[in-house]
Amino acid sequence: AECGFDGGDCHLYNNLTDCHVDYPDNIGDGWCNDYPPYNTAECGSDGGDCIRKSVDGYDNCFVHYTEYIGDGVCSDYPPYNTEACGFDGGDCL
């Protein structure tokens, strides 16, 4: 359908015709639901939420939430607390 802001036809989920989830509002909401069926090719890696981003200053560090690196709180799990990510930007040292 043409996007006319009528009844939700512009919502990202409606454009992912092979994506079938219980909570479609979770698709593309800014939070990575890092499990199937959300983080799958059919659901566009949770509407792009689960596409890892590079972190400035760490060439080989790719995470879902770059703001977690060096935020003063140790995210004690991969990929954050790894050598590549500077042990969460020093938060886990």
Per run of 10 residues, the mean pLDDT along the chain (length 93 residues) is: 52 83 89 94 93 95 95 97 98 97
* DSSP SS3 for 14: helix
Rounded Cα gap, residues 55 and 69, in angstroms: 8
Rounded Cα gap, residues 12 and 36, in angstroms: 17
Residue 10: per-residue pLDDT? 56
Q: How many CA atoms lie within 13 A of 89 on its CB side?
A: 16
pTM of the model: 0.69
79, exposed or middle or buried, with CB in 10 Å at 0-12, 13-18, 19+? Answer: middle
Residue 33: per-residue pLDDT? 94
